[in-house]
Amino acid sequence: MSAKTALIYSQKFEQFSYGEHHPFNVQRFHLAYELISSYGLDCCENSIYPEPPSMAEEAILTFHDSAYVERMKEFSSSETPRADFLYGLGDVENPVFHGFYDWARLGTSGTCEAARLVAEEGYSAAFNLAGGYHHAHKAKASGFSYINDAVIAINSLLAKGKRLVYLDIDAHHGDGVQEAYYDTDQVLVISMHESGIYFFPGTGFEKEMGEGKGYGYSVNIPLIAHTDDPVYMKAFDEVVYPLIAAFDPDIIFTQLGADTFRTDPLTRLEITTHSYSYILRKIKALKIPWVATGGGGYDLMNTARAWTIAWGIMNGVKLPVNLPDSFIELIKPMGYKHKMLLDAMHWAEEEDRNRALDAVESSIAIIRKSIFPIVIG
């Protein structure tokens, strides 16, 4: 019998809105699921697609401050706009809307269910599309994130005695997750992201390595603008892959943001589905039980393509290069002209990529000198 996999999806993911002009458009989930369905990947053998179950508030309190949670609940039930900037609530970035706490909790429950299926039910992979809110802090919303679903799910796995690698390939540094595990050696936190020198959230530099028992178990690879496919794959091959293999986790947890792609409106990296697919295939080849979430991605077609590729790889399905005709017809009225699922490998302009290559080689050297002796020995 082939390995069991689970895709966590619910139409409820799309029933809320950050606002008409907010870059976080929840229709990403619907578009991704439609493309997955167009490829017939909604009926993979041994796969299930459970609605996320309700989740006890006690789980949220394994990371988040109780006063912050109470303020979210209060604002979420209000019919009038509210704001509390101490908690990061009600600004342009993290708007308060009726039911926002319930919506954030729904996505978190999906990630926790994915973790449970992998840890308790023997699933080889479980993927929650509506997860990946890696910027939420203990007592503050940040970066479109209210509840840090990854931390809460990982805490449930740590309670079962599991050791994990958390790998974040979103364009933004996974600062909330790093914060949660900065002083432990039970979670190896790795983030490949656009450099915080000029980019939100302004963290994630090579010298952020953890503290106490956690020193050496926070790994950051900041990438400068115009980092392309070959440079991205180099960083993965020379840093990420050997660290994962050496740590030998019970479970690998990935945040699969697609805002690294070269046409994303909020970022300046030049990644395509080529290197994105390459990394996910290498993770699949490790045969480590795999929990995955979505994340960023502000070009909705990039997001749909990326997460469809990810789900196909989790199931060992090689997808055609061209988008299905039925999906092309579906997206035409939306103004999309895409016809390809997979991109050719992309090189940036020579001067730009040379700068990006120099920067990543510098990062690799720092990590090899400081991190490798601790994790690899």
Gyration radius from the chain CA atoms: 19
Contact 211, 185 (CB under 8 A): no
Quote the tokens at residue 177. 């997750």
End-to-end CA distance of the chain: 38
Please list, residue by residue across 246-277, b when 16 or more beta carbons sit within 10 angstroms of its beta carbon and e when fewer do. Answer: ebebebbbbbbbbbbbbebeebbbbbbbbbbb
Sheet of 125-128, strands arranged across: 47-48, 5-8, 125-128, 290-293, 251-255, 164-168, 187-194, 218-223
* Angstrom distance (rounded) from CA 339 to CA 342: 9
For 279, other C-beta atoms within 10 Å of its C-beta total 24
DSSP-derived secondary structure letter, 40: T
Q: How far from 323 is each of 63, 85, 137, 299, CA to CA, in Å?
A: 41, 44, 38, 17
* Angstrom distance (rounded) from CA 220 to CA 229: 18
* Angstrom distance (rounded) from CA 180 to CA 111: 17
State the sign of the Cα–Cα–Cα–Cα dihedral 206, 352, 227, 263: positive
- The single residue of 64, 137, 173, 193 carrying the catalytic annotation is 173
Quote the tokens at residue 173. 């540094």
C-alpha 282: how far from chain center: 17
Decide: helix, strand or coil at residue 290: strand
Q: How far from 372 is each of 120, 242, 375, CA to CA, in Å?
A: 32, 9, 5
What phi and psi values does residue 27 have, to the nearest 5 degrees?
Answer: -65, -10
Active site residue 98: no
Q: Which residues are catalytic?
A: 173
